[in-house]
Amino acid sequence: MAASTEPDVDGASDTSSLSDPLDTTNDEGWEDIERDEEPVTIVSLLDESTFPDAQSMLAHCRDTHGLDIWKLRQEFALDYLGLVRLVNYIRSEVTAGNSQPDVSSKTVFDDEKYLKPVLEDDALLYSLDDVFEEDVNPAPLSEVEQLREQLATLQSQFSAYREQVQNAMLDRFEQSQPSQESNATAQGAAPQAGDRGNSRAEQFDKDYFQSYSYNAIHESMIKDRIRTDAYRDFIYDHKHLFKDKVVLDVGCGTGILSMFCAKAGARLVIAVDNSGIIDKARENVFSNGLQEVVKCVRGKIEEVTLPVPKVDVIVSEWMGYCLLYESMLDSVIYARDKYLAEDGLMVPSHATLRIAPLADSDLKASHIDFWRDVYGFDMTAMLEKAHEEALIRVVDEKELAGASVAFLELDLHRTKVDDLTFTNPFSTTWQNDGVKTLEGFVIWFDIFFNTSRSQGIPAGMTAAEAKKKTGVVTFSTGPHSEATHWQQGVFLIKDPVGQFGPGDSIAGEVTYLKKQGQERSLDIDITWTKASAGGGKEKERVKKQRWILD
326 classed as catalytic: yes
* SS3 assignment, position 517: coil
Distance CA 227, CA 214 (A): 19
- HSE on the CB side for 316, CA within 13 Å? 28
Residues whose CB is less than 8 angstroms from the CB of residue 157 and which lie 6 or more positions away in sequence, other chains included? 279
Number of Cβ within a 10 Å radius of residue 214? 12
Q: Residue 363 carries which side chain, given as an amino acid letter?
A: L
One-letter-per-residue 3-state SS of 195-227 = HHHHHHHHHHHHHHHHHCCCHHHHHHHHCCHHH
Q: Out of 93, 317, 399, 439, which one is annotated catalytic?
A: 317
Distance CA 450, CA 453 (A): 8
What is the sign of the dihedral through the CA atoms of 205, 210, 213 and 219?
negative
Q: Out of 149, 283, 326, 439, which one is annotated catalytic?
A: 326
Distance CA 427, CA 272 (A): 40
Residues whose CB is less than 8 angstroms from the CB of residue 173 and which lie 6 or more positions away in sequence, other chains included? none
Compute CA distances 72 → 62, 100, 104, 108, 293, whole Å.
11, 15, 9, 13, 16
Distance CA 144, CA 151 (A): 10
317 classed as catalytic: yes
**Residue 363 backbone phi and psi in degrees, to 5:** -65, -35
Distance CA 518, CA 226 (A): 30
- Active-site residue set: 317, 326
